[in-house]
Chain A
Amino acid sequence: MAILEVRDLRARYSAGGPEILKGISFRVEADDFFAVIGPSGAGKSTLIRCINRLVEPSGGEILFYDREVTTLPGRQLRLLRRDIGMIFQEFNLIDRMSVMDNVLSGRLGYTGNLRSLFRAFPRDDIQRALDLLDRVGLMDHVDKRADELSGGQRQRVGIARALMQNPKLLLVDEPTSALDPKISREVMALIKQMATEFKVPCLCNIHDVQLAMEFCNKIIGLQDGNKMFDGPTGKMDQAMLDEIYAMEVL
């Protein structure tokens, strides 16, 4: 059964503006680790943000566990987002809060307003946060402010925060482009390992083709809002890559 099914997805940022996604369709299965590759401006970020509707699609269907996403009203949408974890290129941590509070913020979708106001998260959430921080190797930094950490450590906080949600799908937006090559590999390995362990399918934007080939089992190639390739990593060859990256979109 498909976890996520996207049909003829279209998006544009303003009513008369250019179409960023021109009818994208694909399926994500339960054990998939999808890479979305393509040149800058191909629509990778827009594609991923349409799935949890940080960007509103202008057409097409998105089915998440057979439920239509594009028409969900406010509260239903928040319940859906609760089930979809997201990891960001610039980490998007709350710099002035501690690592612990950052990880706990992944539980906001499950927490009431009053508890949120006083940051009084339930005991179970705190236990879970500590377990995850241990798993990503940040036990020594629990009470540090997020802006005291290095880039790689910050992304680990981002990973723990996404997993706090107990997600049924992980959206990963260029997790390594703010990191150096060695740390990039470590971070990708960690995401892959956690995704396997927690049995969460992933949809991962990545501009580094080498990392994509190494860590992902399926690849979607985007070019200027069109899908050029969709298949297992083994079927991707140099000719196809050349074609995808042939046209630089500014």
Chain B
Amino acid sequence: MDRTATPARTWSRFKFPDSLIRYGVWLSVLVFLAYTVEYLEIPLDRLLGMLGRMGSTIANRYYPPDIDYIMDADYLEYVLETVQMAYLGALFGLLASVPLGWFGSYNMTPSRRYVYPIARLIVMGCRAVHEMIWAILFVTIIGFGMLPGVLALMFFCTGFAGKLIAEEIEAIDMGPVEAMRASGANLFQTMIFGVFPQVRVAITGIAIYTWDVSFRAATVVGFFGAGGMGWYLKRNILQIETERVAAILLSILALVLISEALSAWARARVMKMK
């Protein structure tokens, strides 16, 4: 074959302006990494020695964990309180996030100009503020106890579930919605018949997931006096009761693992139902 007749064809996956942007972005990530390490004066040698120090610290101060302490009836009562707080926070958070998710979904909102941005703003606000900050805020407003904890968890769960539900509603097939509208159904009826059956399974999954994150958050909101086992954690840290702290951390780890396993199992079951 005569190769000189046609010039060799070339092809590159990333064409010129795109390729420049692509490699430029990677380069800037690396440059910023180097700059940050330099600026913060991160002592990399101490980082390397950390593992050994961590081992000895745990061995000397946190071992053996005081298992008797977490088997105490008083402590277990606080664990139960934590579970109940997580439950209430998730439940009320979900109750708030279903209408907020509806109003904040671009395709089904009653008004794109007014209701949509307001609902989005509320959900975003709930997400933007960390659950710890909510806890501190509510403890300052209404004092110590379970109530500020439940409120903090509720706001946290509203932000979490509201966004997910809105996204689910935005992803539905609009065919049934069109059919309901064409039959003269109002917006509420269109939601019940055209939208809800399509997102029911997804919302159940989101609900289980919400319970999961709510429980994890509930173990620590007590740190600021908002009820639950977090208070025990704080007290023992302040009193340098390191073996008790170790036991409490172990109990949190165990509970979160159990709750994760349960919710993973439940969600898998729900998803199979379709």
Residues on A facing B (Cβ under 8 Å): 52, 54, 78-86, 88, 90-97, 101, 105-111, 113, 116-117, 158, 161-162, 165, 171
Q: Is the CB of A94 within 8 A of B184?
A: no
Q: Is the CB of B184 within 8 A of A109?
A: yes
Beyond contacts A54-B178, A86-B182: 19 other A-B pairs, Cβ-Cβ < 8 A, are A78-B185, A80-B184, A81-B181, A81-B183, A81-B184, A82-B183, A88-B175, A91-B175, A92-B179, A94-B194, A96-B274, A105-B179, A105-B180, A105-B185, A108-B185, A108-B186, A109-B183, A109-B185, A117-B188
Please report whether the interface of chain B is mostly helix, strand, loop or mixed according to DSSP. Answer: helix
Q: Is the CB of B184 within 8 A of A108?
A: yes
A171 contact set on B, CB distance < 8 A:
182
A80 contact set on B, CB distance < 8 A:
184
Q: A91's closest neighbor in chain B, by CB?
A: B175
Q: Is the CB of B176 within 8 A of A92?
A: yes
What's the count of A-B pairs with C-beta under 8 Å?
A: 83
Which single member of B183, B186, B192, B197 contacts A86 (CB below 8 Å)? B183
Q: Is the CB of A94 within 8 A of B182?
A: no
A110 contact set on B, CB distance < 8 A:
184
Given contacts A92-B178, A94-B197, A96-B197, contact A165 B186 (CB under 8 A): no
B19 contact set on A, CB distance < 8 A:
none
Closest chain A CB from B114 CB (angstroms): 16
Closest chain A CB from B180 CB (angstroms): 6
Contact with A along B157-188 (1 / 0, CB 8 A): 00000000000000000011011111111101
B175 contact set on A, CB distance < 8 A:
88, 90-92
Taken together as a complex, chains A and B put the C-alpha atoms of A116 and B192 apart, in Å, by: 8
Residues on B facing A (Cβ under 8 Å): 175-176, 178-186, 188-189, 192-194, 197-198, 200, 274
Instruction: Sample 7 A-B pairs with CB under 8 A, ordered by A number.
Output: A54-B182, A92-B176, A108-B180, A113-B189, A116-B189, A161-B179, A161-B183
Q: A171's closest neighbor in chain B, by CB?
A: B182
Q: Is the CB of B181 within 8 A of A54?
A: yes
Taken together as a complex, chains A and B put the C-alpha atoms of A161 and B197 apart, in Å, by: 17
Among A91, A93, A94, A101, max chain B CB count under 10 A is at: A94
A95 contact set on B, CB distance < 8 A:
176, 197-198
Closest chain B CB from A112 CB (angstroms): 9
Among A96, A161, A162, A165, max chain B CB count under 10 A is at: A96
Taken together as a complex, chains A and B put the C-alpha atoms of A162 and B180 apart, in Å, by: 10
Q: A88's closest neighbor in chain B, by CB?
A: B179
Which single member of B193, B197, B200, B274 contacts A108 (CB below 8 Å)? B193
Q: Is the CB of A52 within 8 A of B189?
A: no
Closest chain A CB from B186 CB (angstroms): 6
Q: Is the CB of B183 within 8 A of A94?
A: no
Taken together as a complex, chains A and B put the C-alpha atoms of A94 and B192 apart, in Å, by: 11
Closest chain B CB from A128 CB (angstroms): 14
Taken together as a complex, chains A and B put the C-alpha atoms of A178 and B183 apart, in Å, by: 22
Closest chain B CB from A162 CB (angstroms): 8
B181 contact set on A, CB distance < 8 A:
54, 81
Taken together as a complex, chains A and B put the C-alpha atoms of A130 and B183 apart, in Å, by: 19
Among B175, B182, B192, B194, max chain A CB count under 10 A is at: B182
Taken together as a complex, chains A and B put the C-alpha atoms of A91 and B179 apart, in Å, by: 9
Given contacts A82-B184, A106-B183, contact A96 B200 (CB under 8 A): yes
Closest chain B CB from A92 CB (angstroms): 4
Taken together as a complex, chains A and B put the C-alpha atoms of A76 and B198 apart, in Å, by: 28
B178 contact set on A, CB distance < 8 A:
54, 88, 92
Q: A104's closest neighbor in chain B, by CB?
A: B193
B182 contact set on A, CB distance < 8 A:
52, 54, 81, 84, 86, 171
Taken together as a complex, chains A and B put the C-alpha atoms of A106 and B179 apart, in Å, by: 9
For the complex of A and B, 7 pairs with smallest distance between CB atoms: A109-B184, A82-B184, A108-B185, A92-B179, A92-B175, A81-B184, A86-B182
Taken together as a complex, chains A and B put the C-alpha atoms of A107 and B185 apart, in Å, by: 8
A97 contact set on B, CB distance < 8 A:
193, 197
Closest chain B CB from A146 CB (angstroms): 10
A84 contact set on B, CB distance < 8 A:
182
Q: A111's closest neighbor in chain B, by CB?
A: B189
B198 contact set on A, CB distance < 8 A:
94-96
B185 contact set on A, CB distance < 8 A:
78, 105, 108-109, 116
Closest chain A CB from B175 CB (angstroms): 4
Taken together as a complex, chains A and B put the C-alpha atoms of A124 and B176 apart, in Å, by: 24
Among A54, A78, A93, max chain B CB count under 10 A is at: A78
Taken together as a complex, chains A and B put the C-alpha atoms of A209 and B127 apart, in Å, by: 56
